[in-house]
Chains A and B, each alone.
Chain A
Amino acid sequence: MTTVNAWFKAQQWRPQPFQKECWEAYTAGQNGMLHAPTGSGKTYALWGGIILEALNNKEKPKGLQALWITPLRALAVEIQQATQRMNNDLSPKLKVALRTGDTSQSERAKQKRTPTFGLVTTPESLHVLLSAKDHQKQFEHLKVIVVDEWHELLGTKRGVQIELALAYIRSFLPHLKVWGISATLGNKDLAREILLGSSKNYVTINAKIQKKIKVKSILPQTMERFPWRGHLGLHLLPQVLKIVEKNRSTLIFTNTRAQCEIWFHRLLEANPALAGNMAMHHGSIDKKIRLWVEEALREEQLKVVVCTSSLDLGVDFSPVECCIQIGSPKGVGRFIQRAGRSGHRPKAGSTIHFLPTHAMELIESVALQRGIEQEQIEDRIPYLNTYDVLLQFLMTLAIGSGFVPATLFSIVRSSFCFQTLTPEKWQWLINFLVKGSQSLEHYDEYKKVSVLEDGTHKVLHKGIAMRHRLSMGTIVSDAQLKVRYQRGGYLGNIEEWFISKLKPGEVFTFSGKNLELLRIHNMDVIVRKSKAKKAKIPAWMGGRMSFSAHLSDLLKSALFDQRNYQTKEFIALQPVFSQQQKESIIPQSHQFLIERFKTREGYHTVFYPFEGYAIHEAMASLLAYRISLLSPISFSMSFNDYGFELLSDQAFEQEAFIDNDLLSATHLMADLEKSINISEMARRRFRDIAVISGLVFQGFPNQPIKTKHLQSGAQLFYDVFKAYETDNLLYQQALEETFDHGMERGRMTQVFEKIGQQEIVWRECLHPTPFSFPLITDRLRSKLSSERVEDRIKKMFLQLEKAVS
């Protein structure tokens, strides 16, 4: 212990209590879970123990001993540098290497020949290591696996990857220690149990670092023109500029990459003096540029950085004085994380400015403040039975050493995700890989996994192994193309579908620059700088997040608690509220508001449960389904965190709706299941599943391999499964995920029971209300219909090309 203590002293640091606790617990051979915010010194809390163990060991350590898993590549670099720094002083011979998707082939080969003491890697790269034939030998000296930022991985399919890898490695290394590092979570115990398994030999350590977080809403001078909808918030640009000027350095968090690009541009336009002091950071930008931005932030060379969640984690930026969040952060946890990016210096508080992009977000701002005051942080809901990830993992083993199903079954079942996996489902999955179906069929040439004489399941076909290697990983993205200058110089990756909409000569904004598209060559987009003022901005896919259950509770209490009406946010909202009251009401806790009005687009029926996007998505489809049983009708649905809208070309009657008790909690799950089948909401989920399970092969930039006649979209697979094989587990998984994930099954019942006790207020309005505005203008919609297709077609028309352009 003294060695590490001394090292801390030499750095002029003082070990914090949680760091000492970690060293002690670790050297005592315990597993553990450390809850500590980013930038608190958590890396050394763990690494100190790991290096102490090595120093105390009389024998010279051999082979790979410590594996450190982080969710981000950028973070991996950071960890590798920090741990190597400690090693250099205490035991310079012990090297820590980096193994991510960026690691070169030669470097990988070197790591295999002469393994280093430590290895920092990502969940995907860990699986790549497991696909090696001799992975058991490579891991034979392994003492510990540290999973960093576990809260980010838990509740994602990458988290399931970790679960499977840990269950598997434990099976041949029973004495392996596992440590998790996580920010505070609502469901701490579950988070620990998932990672550490059934072991009783563990500690939970909390870094008691109280950080003061101040939240300030950015408000306009007058509320007259405050928008009712929108997600950009550019009307508050002058206020943002003022904040930027006042602080030495500011981080501006946006929710999507498109938002990020737009804000960067508009700030620069508004204040050209910022050029040179300003940068942008998001996931599509070249790694080198990102690293440069991070370094410049640390060295106080930048006044403002506009970023996305790419800067949420890890990296310590002490000089950052202030953060601005544009639009809803969708959860208290994420908001705290982002607020924590500023004021890293000990005892320095964090200030975060919340910029509401539309009126309703002002209420959210109050909710967030209450959440932080009460330290209410949400749960992360883990996935269950994700067959797609399991199939991918089985393939990963099958292209390496192979596996024996009987042995592997109990290992897989020991993971949290697959604890309820039945032998029948397991057999289904094995059949899927070996025979491609469940029945014995003749004349089938299906080839994937072969069964050897000794019962080992293995891939013998080189092409199949190669395709699997190229498509490992659970992060699903569109095909990416590289953006390059004509004379060389790489700017970053861009989604293929965006570029495919542009013609040569058109100008688009990327990486903060206006670029003219010259041509697309292989997987490269060749561009040159453009002086054009007008440019298209890529709208990246994804980015739809739902409120946590927690935030929706906070939101409701913010809205229903009259005391909040004194806050400056609510005072600012007054003009919007009075307009709402003129047309409709502001619902109170005992009321369930439904609004009906007619526009050119048809009949809008808007419901306000305030339960968050995920619940609303399911509720919308459920109610649309129940109404559609009364008479043939077609709906288009939209949803946000406050409510949902059912839009139809014919009005269903209020009496029919109320009399038939359509908000009843009876047959809830059965109706929900049927509605999901009909509305095809599962279609969207299926896209990821098809890629992860290896049905759809995406190919990779710069690795165009021969896939003649094997390209097919996820949608086509969805259609054939739906038509010919509805018992297919992957198809079933899409349905399950649709009404399970992010929506805790029990919550749906609770919501309907609560509605049962509320007074239903149905308002016929003359005009759209402020509350309804973000919903009725949303263009991302789901559909459900009980009309005959032929009848629907008779009411429809074609849009001619001219009308579009």
Chain B
Amino acid sequence: MKTLTILKQHFILHPSGAIFWRETKTWLFADIHLGKVAHFRKHGIAVPRKAEGDFYQKSTKLFALYQPERVLFLGDLFHSFKNNEWHLFEAWVKQQNAKMVLIEGNHDIIPAEKFTSLGIDVRKEMTEKGFLFSHFPKEKTTGHFVFCGHLHPGVILRGIGKQVLKLPCFFQSPSQLILPAFGVFTGLHILNPTKKNTVYVCTEKEVMEIRQTI
């Protein structure tokens, strides 16, 4: 794990791709794509069902590590229309004590009132303490520091002996941090960093900052 201090607030980057905001006791998740497996299966594509329970297992471990007072989903919480996954999610939400907020993403086509009825606050964006929480990255500066998802960022690392590794990462620019996708079966979008970016790759165990060469 790796702790970043931004605007005097502390953010803990977890290898799973989630972030814990210490001062507000908030877990941030981007691009979980719940129900993606079920969506594929419903259309005759047999993705293993075992991949479905992944989110609940991982989040239980994270919440045991740092108990949240709030959970913030940075969009694409669900992959598509409502399917059986909804019942699992509903049951999970009822077990949680934390407050929940969903920033809507492009995949979130389930009507907002479904989430509201579970007590989840649904918003387009959210600002707090100089931070802007959004699903989409912001190309122009907004005066805030932005936390977002959407891209499923990954990078390619190179080394001597023609070594190459492709890994998911937290992708930071001067006023923005893009979170990797938290869900399984979601894929990577490879980004090409410039000098202005700092990249933290996620392995199964660690979050590691990467040296850059020109």
Contact = CB atoms under 8 A, between A and B. Distances in A.
Interface of A: 432, 436-437, 441, 443-448, 461, 463-464, 467, 601-603, 634-636, 647-649, 694-695, 697, 708-710, 712-713, 715-717, 719-721, 723-725, 728, 781, 783, 789-790, 792-804
B36 to A, nearest CB: 8
B64 interface: no
B158 interface: yes
A277 B38 CA distance: 58
B47 A601 contact: no
B46 interface: yes
B48 A725 contact: yes
Interface in B36-65: 36, 38-51
23 contacts: A436-B44, A436-B46, A467-B44, A634-B161, A695-B45, A697-B45, A709-B36, A709-B80, A710-B40, A717-B47, A720-B47, A723-B51, A724-B50, A789-B204, A793-B167, A795-B159, A797-B211, A797-B213, A798-B156, A798-B193, A799-B192, A800-B192, A802-B214
B79 interface: yes
Given A720-B48, A797-B213, A649 B156 contact: no
A648 B161 CA distance: 5
Given A636-B164, A709-B107, A783-B164, 7 more contacts: A464-B44, A603-B161, A649-B160, A720-B48, A797-B158, A797-B212, A799-B158
> What is the interface of chain A mostly: helix, strand, loop, or mixed?
mixed
A798 B155 contact: yes
Interface of B: 36, 38-51, 79-80, 83-84, 87, 107, 155-165, 167, 184-187, 192-195, 199, 201, 203-206, 208, 210-214
B110 to A, nearest CB: 12
A799 B213 contact: yes
Contacts of A635: 161
B8 to A, nearest CB: 28
B208 to A, nearest CB: 5
Contacts of B80: 708-709
Contacts, number: 163
A510 B156 CA distance: 31
A262 to B, nearest CB: 26
A724 B51 contact: yes
Contact of A781 (B39, B44, B162): B162
Contact of A712 (B159, B185, B211): B185
A623 to B, nearest CB: 16
Given A441-B49, A444-B49, A447-B42, A793 B213 contact: no
Contacts of A795: 159-160, 163
A476 to B, nearest CB: 17
Contacts of A443: 84, 87
Contact of A446 (B46, B155, B167, B206): B46
* 8 closest A-B pairs by CB: A602-B161, A448-B44, A436-B46, A796-B159, A649-B161, A725-B48, A724-B50, A796-B157
A728 B50 CA distance: 13
Q: Most A CB atoms within 10 A — which of B38, B49, B160, B212? A: B160
Given A636-B162, A789-B165, A437 B157 contact: no
Q: Most A CB atoms within 10 A — which of B50, B162, B195? A: B162
Contacts of B50: 724-725
B159 to A, nearest CB: 4
Given A447-B42, A708-B80, A797 B161 contact: no
B161 to A, nearest CB: 4
A369 B165 CA distance: 44
Contacts of B193: 798, 800-801
B41 A799 contact: no
A433 to B, nearest CB: 8
Contacts of B165: 789, 792-793, 796
Nearest to B187: A716
Given A636-B162, A796-B159, A801 B192 contact: yes
Contacts of B84: 443-445
B208 A790 contact: yes
Contacts of A723: 51, 184
